[in-house]
A and B are shown apart, each in its own frame.
Chain A
Amino acid sequence: NAGVTQTPKFRVLKTGQSMTLLCAQDMNHEYMYWYRQDPGMGLRLIHYSVGEGTTAKGEVPDGYNVSRLKKQNFLLGLESAAPSQTSVYFCASSSLDRDEETQYFGPGTRLLVL
């Protein structure tokens, strides 16, 4: 049981380039989330999904797109990367069962945009 995994672990982009971050979970969770964490700050929600084929905006959605084509995967896309998107990105998943609401986090993807 790997939990939540993220690919890649680290990436360097030039301004204007695009990329996709992949999150996968093997816990059969319905809910998945993408957060970004900047130095000295807590995590901020970018987008989330309450089920396969559904997505919703979080606190800081601008500049990002997401897709949830399969229940176990949640993709975060940057169409035209900007230096302000340099951050650590965390994916999380949860069942939102009232007895088990915990969000389980992946190890993070460090993104540097030059």
Chain B
Amino acid sequence: GESVGLHLPTLSVQEGDNSIINCAYSNSASDYFIWYKQESGKGPQFIIDIRSNMDKRQGQRVTVLLNKTVKHLSLQIAATQPGDSAVYFCAEAYYNQGGKLIFGQGTELSVKP
């Protein structure tokens, strides 16, 4: 069945360091992948997405890498800041199913000052 999972439930980094959050998925049929950030008591907030025909996409301080061979997705955050502390979710998305999202469990990122 469909499943999206994360390798590590928690990640602690020092302020200024780079963070890498990983995600494994099992279904090759998804059209694109999305990373969301969720702060305590709030709804998920879009960070960056990548289509399934791409292997890299860069945003402001963030980069997403997609390796379809091993069904692996990663989110890299450069110069991590205390405001980056949150739970990060990867999600698979399907155009032909109304944009349905299948979420992974989440990784909690903690940034130490």
Contacts and interface: CB of A to CB of B under 8 A. Distances in A.
Interface of A: 4, 31, 33, 40-45, 48-50, 56, 58-59, 90, 92, 94, 96, 101-108
A40 B42 contact: no
A43 B89 contact: yes
Counting from the closest, the 6 A-B pairs by CB-CB distance are: A42-B103, A105-B43, A50-B98, A102-B46, A43-B103, A96-B99
Contacts of A58: 100
24 contacts: A33-B98, A33-B100, A33-B101, A42-B103, A42-B106, A43-B101, A45-B100, A48-B98, A48-B100, A49-B98, A50-B98, A90-B44, A96-B95, A102-B34, A102-B49, A103-B34, A103-B99, A103-B101, A104-B46, A105-B43, A106-B43, A107-B42, A108-B41, A108-B42
Contacts, number: 64
A31 B98 contact: yes
B99 A41 contact: no
B25 to A, nearest CB: 12
Contacts of A31: 98-99
B44 A43 contact: yes
Contacts of B9: 40
Contacts of A59: 102
Nearest to B108: A40
A21 B91 CA distance: 24
Range of interface residues on chain B?
20 to 34
B89 to A, nearest CB: 5
Contacts of B98: 31, 33, 48-50, 56, 96
Contacts of B95: 96, 101
Given A31-B98, A105-B43, 7 more contacts: A33-B100, A40-B105, A42-B4, A101-B49, A102-B49, A105-B45, A108-B41
Nearest to B106: A42
B43 A108 contact: yes
Nearest to A49: B98
B73 interface: no
A53 to B, nearest CB: 14
Contacts of A106: 43
